[in-house]
Amino acid sequence: MDDQRDAPPASTTPLARRTFLGRSAAAGAATVAVPLALSACGGGDEATDETTGGDEYEPGSASLKHELAPEIEGINYPEDYVGPRARELQPFGDGEREFTILSQIDPGMDLETNSYSTHLEETTGVSAKYVTVPAGEDGKTKVNAIVAGGDLPDAMMVGQDIFTLSEISIYGQQGLFLPLDKLIDENAPHILDMFSSFPDMRPQYSSPDGRLYAVPSMNDCYHCKAANVRTWINADWLEAVGAEVPQTLEEYEAVMEAFRDWSGRPQGSALTTASAETMLQLMQFFMGSFLEMPDLHLRRAGDTIEWLHRDPAFREGMIWIQEQFAKGNLDRGILSNTAEQYQKLGDAADGPLFGMAYGYSTFHFAAAADPSDPQDVSRVMKIMPPLEGPAGVRSCQWDHFSYGYPNFVITPQCPDPVQMIRWADHQFELGLTISLTRGEQGTDWDWADQGLQGIDGQQAVYQILDPGTELTNRVWREWGPLYKSMSQRHSEAVPENSPSIEPILYAGTSINEPFATPEEIGVPPLIHDMEQSAQVGEIITNLEDHVKQLMADVATGRADAGEDAAWNAYLDGAEAMGVDTYLSISQAAYDEQYG
């Protein structure tokens, strides 16, 4: 499977009001159905409390009833491997009861006939009927309708943006989702093994009331940590003008001048560019040369949350960006380039038509990439380190907090929550976690021989048998329960001339890690109630539009960031949009969760 399908970690940012109000209405409608759903569990509130422990249950206080399955011998793990292990799983379900489970699907997927679905049923003994929705916005709309209708499935796989952590907390406290702490403590040894290895997982994905309403899946993506500002430079152009990768803003300007004066520069090419969708990411890359910027808006100073645009260094950075537009180093096309137009620049027949470009991975600036081809855009473009600014600042925005997402919820409709939590728990075993996205063991992948190297250069644990093979309807995606620690993700063998983009992203991230923004200035995930989520979501949307407008104004000369009147107008506009309300709500949530 193409690793470029790695998505940005699921956001914990509240939804914009126009999105969240629809869900709020759905939640309100579904709440009416909760007593009926609880009754369907077979005994009402008393039976539910016995299963979940009720309001008084203390997470971690119950005794485990099922032990970890024995390890499979002969697997080659690197010395410092931390993550799921290959185990001799045994079925526990009787197959007589069919559970309904909601999941997203891609075109061409049929979970009833899907190879991983079949393998999972054989491994667990649990029979499942899948309620499917399409990935993306259409899927969210359909899930809202299901919740609003009150006829909930037994469980839902809601990772990768179906529900935010705030929504799960809201719905859980309304009774739409069961609290899972006691179920996990008694029946989920593999999930508990993850919590033991990564003790921050459980509290980070628990609600402010202390309960865990969704099983969190770990997907600790190393290259994702720097992806929000990942910027690439054209190695062919550098070679043509006899330049090296710039290390400072001054060197960047010299390289851009060399590109501009190069007689061989392709017609219609841009020096430094992005799409309208990603221009704020490119902006933040350059802003890292003026101040440590852990997020587009917020940072921490001790335990105080600040809007960093009030920092004079942010204004200095915007003045510099304005100068680069004036010089032609920054392409004004970033204000209007669609995703497709941007990709066409990267897919040009004679090589990419840009000198520098933003890209989470190559999928942003190229529709297709094949790293096994030395002339491919993924090999021509090289990941940049951050650039040192005039005051010596050289930082890379680093995501310290997104190493998983709330994934699997069980509803009061479920006739046997114990079987459902064990079904999820089995998938935290290494073999199932691999098969979820890599296909069938023995056909698509197998355990790695001694001496094979993984993505990080250490001993590989498993290898793909036929790289590049399409796995249509043989895998899920990263929607199901899974345990992808960083060690697990890096343990895939990398053959010579591999078509995987992962080694390139790993190497590029390693270049950036020494300049990572410190964890202590970042704002960890915050959980808001329904009203706060709607309010904050709307403010964030308006603030992002406000920054984009500022970029457009300085790019076109309509505003001068160096003029006090223009800059004060920008700050005043943000205040009118509610930036101080955003800070106040965020500070209160931070104090409640982390104070």
Classify residue 328 as left (phi > 0), alpha (psi -120 to 50) or beta: left
CB distance 299 to 306 below 8 Å:
yes
Mean of the pLDDT values across residues 239-258?
Answer: 98
Cα dihedral value 397, 400, 402, 403, nearest 10? 130
Cα distance between residue 574 and residue 453, in whole Å: 50
Q: Provide the sign of the torsion angle of the four alpha carbons 457, 462, 467, 470, taken in this order.
A: negative
Phi then psi for 223, rounded to 5 degrees?
A: -70, -20
The residue with tokens 């379900």 is: 93
pLDDT in tens, 158-181: 877 789 899 999 999 999 999 999
Show the DSSP H helices in 394-464 as ranges. Answer: 417-426, 430-438
The per-residue pLDDT for 23 is: 33
Mean of pLDDT values over 19-30:
32
Q: Which residue has the tokens 């529900």?
A: 163
- Does the structure show a pLDDT above 50 at 325? yes
Separation between Cα atoms, residue 424 and residue 405, nearest integer Å: 14
Q: How far is CA 490 from CA 204, 384, 446, in A?
A: 24, 21, 15
Of 13, 12, 584, whose CA–CA distance to 305 is shortest? 584
pLDDT at 4 over 60: no
Model confidence pLDDT, tens digit, residues 287-306: 999 999 999 999 999 999 99
Q: What is the pLDDT of residues 332-358, one digit of tens each?
A: 999 999 999 999 999 999 999 999 999
Q: What's the start-to-end Cα distance of the chain, in Å?
A: 42
Closest CA relative to residue 170, chosen from 25, 22, 27: 27
- pLDDT > 80? residue 44: no
pLDDT of residue 47: 66
pLDDT score at 342: 97
User: pLDDT averaged over the chain?
Assistant: 91
What's the mean pLDDT in 358-369? 95
Give the mean pLDDT of 473-487. Answer: 94
Closest among 62, 13, 6 to 418, alpha carbons compared: 62
CA distance 180 to 166: 16
Helix H segments across 288-376?
312-327, 339-346
Per-residue pLDDT for 492 more than 60?
A: yes
Of all helices (H) and strands (E), which one includes residue 231?
strand 231-234
pLDDT bin (cut points 50, 70, 90) of residue 285 is very high
Within a 10 A sphere around the Cβ of 61, how many other Cβ atoms? 11
- Per-residue pLDDT, 45: 64
Span 79-115, pLDDT tens digits: 999 999 999 999 999 888 999 999 999 998 999 999 9
Angle between helices 279-287 and 312-327 (to 10 degrees): 120
Across the range 68-75, mean pLDDT stands at: 97
DSSP 101-127: EEEEE-TT--TTT-HHHHHHHHHH--E
Residue 497 has pLDDT above 90, yes or no: no
Across the strands, what pairs with 104? 133
Report helix, strand or coil for 407.
strand
- d(C-alpha 254, C-alpha 329), whole Å: 10
